[in-house]
Amino acid sequence: MEYKIEEKSAPGRDRVKVLGATFDKGRPEGEDAGKWRRKLRSRSEKLKYLREGERYWYGKEWHGSEKRKNPA
């Protein structure tokens, strides 16, 4: 990956080299973009995917940084 280096003026200094954007665009590309059903093989995998998604949005148990003391 080639990095873009830009020169900008900084306070108290002349010109400074600054590293530009280092990310790739997050847009899905191709024919299968957004078609999760094709990626999962069996019916049980599809049900597990949907159950975990519902648990994330509607569940009461939370882990790590998502944990809140008072529910919203």
Q: Provide the token pair at 21.
A: 């954007």
Label residue 30 left, alpha or beta by phi (over 0 means left) and psi (-120 to 50 means alpha): left
Average pLDDT over residues 23-48: 80
Checking if the pLDDT of 63 tops 70, the result is no
The predicted model scores a pTM of: 0.39
Highest mean pLDDT (candidates 1-5, 8-12, 21-25, 60-64): 8-12
User: In this predicted structure, which of 17-21, 33-37, 42-46 has the lowest mean pLDDT?
Assistant: 33-37
pLDDT confidence band for 44 (50 / 70 / 90): very high
